[in-house]
Amino acid sequence: MEHEELLTKRKGKIAFLYLNRPEKFNALNISLLNKINSALKAISKDDKIRVIILTGIGEKAFAAGADISEFSEFKSKEAMELSKKGKEKVFDFIEEFSKPVIAAINGYALGGGLELALSCDIRIASNNALMGFPETSLGTIPGYGGTYRLAEIAGKGIAKEMILTCRKISAKEALEIGLISYLTEKNELLDKATEVANQIMMNSPNAINSAIKAINYSGRDSKKNCSEIESKYFSKCFDHPEFKKGVSAFLNKRKPNF
């Protein structure tokens, strides 16, 4: 019951997190964001969990945004706090998380819902999904990292077009612009996400963590710093036992067992 608005389920080495406010299209209120944060903190300490799959409960929505009813009376001071706290606890937290997080987008991913998906390492969507940023129609802009994460993933032109027009795009279009990696039938979404999780789990968890950290720098720092960061994480892998394991498996024509 602790994570009522967030259901957690475990299947082998995969943790499934289900956003569970279907009556509100899984709108992200503060309480749900806090629950995502505590669930992830618990997962970070659990060595048996290797990949997280984040999805929404219900037929309609992954998440239809931040909960508008919570911020309708806000002024800039509270809005600043909302944005900063949300990033710290969830959006940046996921992006920098030590284990890969896959967003399985099962319906509307709007506003904060799309920002949540963009914070994840990999996105997969079912063919009923619709994605967009309605914020400018509400008189504001995305505040949980959407402006720069969408620009990084799909390019500034697409980010401006989607944010300025509030146009919702289909999963097919999301696939075409590289916003998602796979498009599935509705009932095959979690199977596909599980298949991707299984592919990731064939590889070294230490190397995966290092790759996520290095990739997160790309485009956000000078070329020189990105290069240095990559060399740092690359070289650190060589002191990790998983490097010996991987290389010795290759040399002995076996599959490594990470």
Q: Which residues are catalytic?
A: 115, 135
- The residue among 134 and 246 lying less far from ligand COA, judged by its C-beta, is 134
DSSP track, 20-89 = --GGGTT-B-HHHHHHHHHHHHHHHT-TT--EEEEEESSSSEEE-SB-HHHHTT--HHHHHHHHHHHIII
CA 87/CA 28 separation, integer angstroms: 13
Structure tokens at 205: 């968890």
**Cβ 69 to ligand COA, closest distance in Å?**
5
Which among 29, 44, 60 has a CA at the least distance from the CA of 5? 29
**Cβ 179 to ligand COA, closest distance in Å?**
17
- The residue among 13 and 168 lying less far from ligand COA, judged by its C-beta, is 168
- Compute the Cα dihedral for 133, 145, 204, 238 and give only its sign: positive
Question: Which residues contact ligand COA (rule: CB under 6 A)?
Answer: 24-25, 27, 64-69, 108, 110-112, 134-135, 138
- The residue among 90 and 197 lying less far from ligand COA, judged by its C-beta, is 90
- The residue among 16 and 25 lying less far from ligand COA, judged by its C-beta, is 25
If you compute the radius of gyration of the chain from its CA atoms, what whole number of angstroms results? 19
Please check whether residue 16 is in contact with residue 196, taking contact to mean a CB–CB distance below 8 angstroms: no
- The residue among 34 and 216 lying less far from ligand COA, judged by its C-beta, is 34
CA distances from 18 to 38, 70, 104, 166 (A): 14, 21, 10, 26
**Cβ 153 to ligand COA, closest distance in Å?**
19
Helical segments of the chain, H only: 30-44, 68-71, 76-86, 92-95, 112-119, 135-138, 146-154, 156-165, 171-176, 189-201, 205-217, 223-237, 241-251
Which among 132, 118, 134, 133 has a CA at the least distance from the CA of 180? 118
Residue at token pair 């070329």:
223
